Each structure stands twice: as structure tokens, then as C-alpha cells.
Amino acid sequence: MSNLITIERHILEQQKYFPEAHGELTDLLTDVAFAAKLVRREVVRAGLVDILGFAGSTNVQGEEVKKLDLFANEKIISAIGQHGRFAVMGSEENEGIIIPPKNETGSYALLFDPLDGSSNIDVNVSVGTIFSIYRLKGDDPCKASINDCLQHGYEQVAAGYVIYGSSVVMVYTTGHGVHGFTYDPTIGEFLLSHENIITPKSGKYYSINEGSFAQFNDGTKKYLDYIKEEDPATNRPYSTRYIGSLVADFHRNLLTGGVFVYPPTTKHLSGKLRLMYEANPLAFICEQAGGRATDGRNRILDIQPTSLHQRTPLYIGSEEDVIIAEEFEQGLR
């Protein structure tokens, strides 16, 4: 047991990179890990309690809300907001910003997707929580506003996700490498299992919803034809792996190599994924692991957000694979 490293210990060791934070970032990430344990407890019991199915309402995106979405959202807000370490929060499930009751001492903003891929929970497919942390632009937490949330992705001080699958894994970065932790339910701790994750420069998997093929532009259609062609020199054809839970598809490709593509469609010209809650945190993680993330033309982390629920196309994963997808999107191939 002496060789096991808990997530709390690892976060504490990362604190040396942020001497100006005075331990605040350590507490923030510890709060997120605690909230993840609460969500995990209900996810694994979802089939035994009345928490499956729809809640009978829609979220700001116009999507039907699952009961577990609401539970995860409420638990994260209450577990994290009560300590006053975040001055402002934003959730994919809430239209506007959330001001915690105790925000007088918080110096950070938290943005999160409480339960990504929740449409899969009823059939026992992996789902996850995605989060990102920004430092406030001003010095007074009582004046925290939406502007503190609408920062460039490159201004994140930390980002991560938790995937609830056959095991529960939390992956995070503070800008100094990417590290993964597996939850051990026997001791109630996240233990270091994937240190310094480096994603392969290229992979053999592609993740895309080909059911929307008719709505893709010509560049995306040509790209799909290209990766299905047989060419041993370029390791083609690729194999399809698409779960329908962004965090699960991303996690697999991060570890094994590959590319996740959610392009613009005739139905969603600006893309469908959320810049602030999904694209930015995963892009930060991906780049820290040596990967690449763009909207097909621009680096995700350079995009100036204009609204909390802004959408974007997303090309993310192994650097060489993403570049090829971009070239087709830009008409260069």
C-alpha cells in the first residue's frame, strides 16, 4: 500500500507548479474528485433505484433531461458550491451562471457537463463528467460574472473528466502532463493508474456518427472514403469505434490512438458539441498528452467564446490523424 498514490496526494504534488495558488487549486480538484464519488455511487446503482428514464423536462439545449442528469447536476453544485472555493459556476444543464451561496473567498470559475452521454445510461453504456477550471479575471469574487466563464480555452488552469464504466477513472491536467486515476471502491479512493499519459501520434480508430452521413459536407464524406481505403503503408483502413458518449470515445482514443470527429452538418451548421463544457476541457487534456484539437480550421483553445452554450465542430485525438481530417475539411485533399 505504501506505493499507492491517491489523487489527493498527486494533486498536492502538482501544487509546486502553482506557488501563487496557496493550495487553492489542490482543494478545488479534491472537491471535484469528491463530487465524482457521489455521482459514481448513483451511476452504479442506477438500475436498482428510481433514477433511470426521463425527468419530464428539457434543458437549455432543448434536449430531454434524464433523471440522472438532474441528480449529477445537483450533487456537483451542492458538493462543490458549499465550500466557497468557486466564485461562479456554469453547467450544461443550466441556462445561466450559478453563483454559489458562499462565494466570497473563491478565486476560480468552474464549468462542467455533469453527465455526458446520459442517453446511454439506461443500457449500461459508459457515461462521464467533464470539467474545466479558470481563474477569475478580477480580484473580487463577489463581482464574479459570466465574463469569468467566457475565457479562451488556453486560459484554463485545470481540466479533466471522470468516466463511469467497468471501472471508474478520473483523468486530469493542470497544464503539466495528463494523469489518470482508477477508483478503488474497497478503500474509497482514486489511485494513480495512468501516469503521464501520452497519446500516440496516429492510431487505427476513427469515431464518428456515420448515421448522419447524408448531412455531412463533401470534405467529410471524402475523408470517410479515404480512411476506409486499403493502404498498408498508411495503416488503412481504420476501424470504427463509436460509442455515442463523447467522454468514452475520447478516453479510448487518448490511450490507444485515433481520432474523434463531430463535423458540421446541414442540421447543425456550427457543430453540435459545446465549446465550454466539452470541447475546451478535452482539447486542453488532448494537447497536454501530445494530441491535437480543432474545429476543422482553428485550434479549439484559441476560439473566443461568446456564450455559455456555444457550439462547435470538433476534430480531436492523435495529431497526425486530426491533421488529415482537417485537410479534407479544408478542401486540401
**pLDDT tens string 213-256:** 999 999 999 999 999 999 999 999 999 999 989 999 999 999 99
Q: Is 278 annotated as a binding residue?
A: yes
Q: Is 228 annotated as a binding residue?
A: no
- Return the closest-CA partner of residue 332 out of 283, 301, 296: 296
Q: Is 255 annotated as a binding residue?
A: no
Q: Is 226 annotated as a binding residue?
A: no
Q: How many CB atoms lie within 10 A of CB 137?
A: 15
Q: Is 212 annotated as a binding residue?
A: no
Q: Is 27 annotated as a binding residue?
A: no
Taking the model in full, what pTM does it have? 0.92
Q: Is 92 annotated as a binding residue?
A: yes
Higher pLDDT, 57 or 290: 290
Per-domain boundaries in the chain: 7-194, 205-330
Q: Is 118 annotated as a binding residue?
A: yes
Q: Is 211 annotated as a binding residue?
A: no
Give 169-219 pLDDT, tens digit per residue.
999 999 999 999 999 999 999 999 999 999 999 999 999 999 999 999 999
Q: Please say whether the beta carbons of 271 and 316 come within 8 A.
A: no
- Rounded to 5 degrees, φ, ψ at 46 are -55, -35
Give 122-164 pLDDT, tens digit per residue.
777 889 999 999 999 988 888 899 999 999 999 999 999 999 9
Assigned C-alpha cell, 270:
456550427
Q: Is 272 annotated as a binding residue?
A: yes
Assigned C-alpha cell, 22:
496557496
Q: Is 172 annotated as a binding residue?
A: no
Would the CA dihedral through 319, 320, 321, 325 be positive or negative? Answer: positive
Give 289-309 pLDDT, tens digit per residue.
999 999 999 999 999 999 999
- Rounded to 5 degrees, φ, ψ at 246 are -50, -45
Fold of 7-194: Fructose-1,6-Bisphosphatase; Chain A, domain 1 (3.30.540)
CATH 3.40.190.80 fits 205-330, yes or no: yes
